[in-house]
Chains A and B, each alone.
Chain A
């Protein structure tokens, strides 16, 4: 091609074309990341996210933020470090939420008839906003990992409290004490139901009492910091533009 030729007729057309590619890029990143993030999340933390009776004070609080930290860290590594766009985590979480809500409504409710107040997804938006704001304010990967990662884990339970709180009130049913969420689970038996009943009854959950959720959140925050570091570097690798040359 000739270097003297231009691809566009005017500066105005160049600006228009540039904006057009912005939209293309946004669509591709949003939906491909949505797909990758959603399949990752549903298969590593999914059951805790699907069902309200799995949304307990210990493993849900621990597992969900840890496994959800991955894609936001990687996408931030591209969008911030290459383009100074401070919304990598929010893009991921918005995508995840959209994918989950469409599914919970059209499939969990629309195909298999679980009520939506039994299958609503977890909320990550406050954690994602804080993660992006910390990155934008500090411009530091280390500070984002430590401060943002800590906030990511600690904010998860409070963010979800308004929704899950009413389902954690105790009820007595056939002489047994349980939460309202447990009661939902008893009425909507699933093929995987016995597994989780066995899991939550292990350990010292009852002995620790009210401290279980904060302890779990703190542990989750600690691991989220480590996951952020790891996935930041994954994100950098995925953002590379290398070509494999033929031998």
Chain B
């Protein structure tokens, strides 16, 4: 009887399978931050973002760019470094319960990645279309590019690699090698950022008009397809979770 009571107490005291606070805060972080970014664009896009030679452009947009570069490199270094430094060196000897708990944490990361991908690939990319069909660009670093290419893309890259690193360093199922589709779903969207080089080079020829379906943009399309790698990640996870839950669900 005493042993049973102790066991129940231990269960009650252990960490929950899903840390709901992290899940909600993680998603809210993107939503609230990007709501602020959108407010900033609305106010300073029109008032200070039309002429890249104007002093106010330097104040409100180029300084924004410099600050985000520093913060992104710092965040990536700290986050990826932390995940690697605190990796589990005995990952194959964890209990099934702990493995399940880590899978839920991994899904919190994937949820954040999905949210970040939405903002980068959908929200800020199509927004760029309407801005450049309205305002004739006179620089690579336009207000919409400073947000789209150099803020929202690095943010999903940082989140995606963090998610990948978490799985690789803490989950037994990912110790059999490097998950091909996981790499595709993270590295493919990452390649959209280097492809900005092609885009900006091309726009030095055709800066005056924006045509979103121009072949110049097809590099973004090709690497956008890699997002479908999430299907392989889901299937890999379902395999791992089936091993953990199958006999209890039978």
Contact = CB atoms under 8 A, between A and B. Distances in A.
Q: Do A and B come from one complex?
A: yes
Interface of A: 1-2, 5-11, 13-15, 17-18, 20-21, 24-25, 27-40, 42-48, 50, 63, 70-71, 74-75, 78, 82, 99-100, 102-103, 106-108, 110-112, 114, 119, 190-192, 194-195, 234-235, 238-246
Contact of A24 (B38, B110, B208, B231): B110
B177 A244 contact: yes
Contacts of A242: 179-181, 232
Contact of B121 (A9, A35, A75, A119): A35
A239 B211 contact: no
Contacts, number: 248
Nearest to A77: B231
A1 B38 contact: no
Contacts of B107: 21, 24, 28
B75 interface: no
Contacts of A6: 96-97, 247-248
The CB with the most chain B CB atoms within 10 A, among A17, A192, A238, A239, is that of A238
Given A6-B248, A17-B100, A111-B42, A191 B94 contact: no
Given A6-B248, A17-B100, A238-B232, A43 B217 contact: yes
Given A1-B94, A43-B218, 12 more contacts: A7-B244, A7-B248, A31-B114, A44-B213, A45-B213, A46-B213, A50-B130, A75-B228, A82-B235, A103-B126, A238-B228, A238-B232
B132 to A, nearest CB: 6
Interface of B: 11, 17-18, 38, 41-42, 45, 92-97, 99-100, 103-104, 107, 110-111, 113-115, 117-118, 120-123, 125-127, 129-136, 172, 176-181, 183-185, 189, 192, 208-213, 217-218, 220-221, 224-239, 241, 244-245, 247-249
A39 B221 contact: yes
Contact of A28 (B104, B111, B218): B111
A21 B241 contact: yes
B100 to A, nearest CB: 4
A240 B181 contact: yes
Contact of B232 (A7, A27, A63, A239): A239
B100 A36 contact: no
Nearest to B119: A35
The CB with the most chain A CB atoms within 10 A, among B126, B136, B211, is that of B126
B17 A17 contact: yes
Contacts of B221: 39-40, 43-44
Contacts of B241: 18, 21
B6 to A, nearest CB: 15
Nearest to B38: A106
Contacts of B122: 34-35, 38-39, 99, 102-103
B118 A5 contact: no
Contact of B178 (A15, A107, A108, A244): A244
A20 B132 CA distance: 42
Contacts of B208: 191
B182 to A, nearest CB: 9
Contacts of B177: 243-246
Given A36-B226, A244-B180, A111 B121 contact: no
B90 to A, nearest CB: 11
A33 to B, nearest CB: 7
Contacts of B104: 20, 24
A31 B227 CA distance: 10
Nearest to B207: A191
A82 to B, nearest CB: 6
A24 B225 contact: no
A29 B118 CA distance: 11
B245 A241 contact: no
Contact of A191 (B97, B127, B209): B209
A1 B234 contact: no
The CB with the most chain A CB atoms within 10 A, among B115, B123, B130, B249, is that of B130
Contacts of A5: 95-97
Given A7-B96, A31-B117, A114 B130 contact: yes
Nearest to A109: B130
